[in-house]
Amino acid sequence: MPLSEEASDELEALEGIFGSDFHWDGSKLNLNVAPEEDSEGFRYASVQLLVELPDGYPATEGPSVQIQPEEGDLDLSQLHDVVKNAAADAAGSVALFMVAEAVRDWLREFGRMERIPEPEDKDIGIEDDFDVDSEDLDGELIDALLEVLKGDAARCKELKRIRRMGAVEQKVALRAQLKMLSPEEREALVGSDSESDQEEEVQAPSVKLAPAQIECSAGHELTAFSARPPDYRKFDGDEYTCDVCGQDGEYRYGVYHCTKCFQQGLG
């Protein structure tokens, strides 16, 4: 069955988002849908969505979706209504992600199961080291993954495509990418995050400024900084206290500073 360009693009996106929970054989699609374990340790029921895409999908016809419970005791009549309503809301455009998310939300509300026993030696997961629920960090995480996976052209291409997704799709897709990492890649990714934290602590770099108009009273060579020197004791943000006149100021164009005197407690 030939697919429209929109349907083909949707399947490609879903494969990146769902990873191993996505199965397409050329005619039928299987999606395994389940909420993740919550912060209290409870897990949730899961279902398989068995999807067929008619010739007119998505422009004139919606997807045909059957629900196959995988785990948990569910009210399938309610769940069928959830699928039907989500597909109707997306009529005329691609609908499968909206259908899957509606099912996931319903399972999160009505499909909670027993708490998962916590092992004695629980390993810290990669998602504990990288917060994919923070929009501010999603871009940084993608950059870190690109650095770790720079030798894998296909996965880097997928990460660049994920960067262009909307916020909700991007988070799901990033989770899928993190789950696919090998132990070595995970270690490298966590290490790259630690290195970036350390880089923030490196002292402000020296810059080239006009010749200094002052001299160190001890005869030391002055160092030019474009931001507050890291050894200053009196500061507030980018503000500083001048070594010579004692007046407070804000770093805008750079400043000369004697690091040796400060090291010796003379500043």
For all residues of the chain together, what is the average pLDDT? 76
How large is the average pLDDT for residues 10-30? 92
Strand 255-257 to strand 28-33: parallel, antiparallel, or no bridges (unpaired)? Answer: unpaired
- The string of pLDDT tens digits covering residues 138-171 is 678 888 888 888 888 888 888 888 888 777 777 7
Q: What is the number of other CB atoms lying within 10 angstroms of the CB of residue 182?
A: 8
Please state, in angstroms and rounded to a whole number, the distance separating the CA atoms of residues 255 and 245.
13
Q: What is the pLDDT of residue 228?
A: 57
CATH architecture of 5-115: Roll (3.10)
Q: Cα angle at 165 between 160 and 171, to 5 degrees?
A: 95
257 phi and psi, to 5 degrees? -155, 140
CA gap 202, 89 in Å, rounded: 52
- Categorize the per-residue pLDDT at 59 as very low, low, confident or very high, splitting at 50, 70 and 90: very high
Q: Which of 31-45, 71-85, 125-139, 194-208 has the lowest mean pLDDT?
A: 194-208
Q: Which of 91-100, 115-124, 220-229 has the highest mean pLDDT?
A: 91-100
Span between the terminal Cα atoms of the chain, in Å: 78
Of 202, 213, 195, the residue nearest 255 (C-alpha): 213
Q: Hey, what are 162's tokens?
A: 């994920």
Lowest mean pLDDT among 1-5, 137-141, 184-188: 137-141
Which pLDDT score, from 0 to 100, does residue 162 have?
A: 85
Domain segments of the chain as ranges: 5-115, 126-199, 204-267
Q: Does 211 sit behind a cis peptide bond, omega within 30 degrees of 0 on the bond before it?
A: no
- The pTM assigned to this predicted structure is 0.45
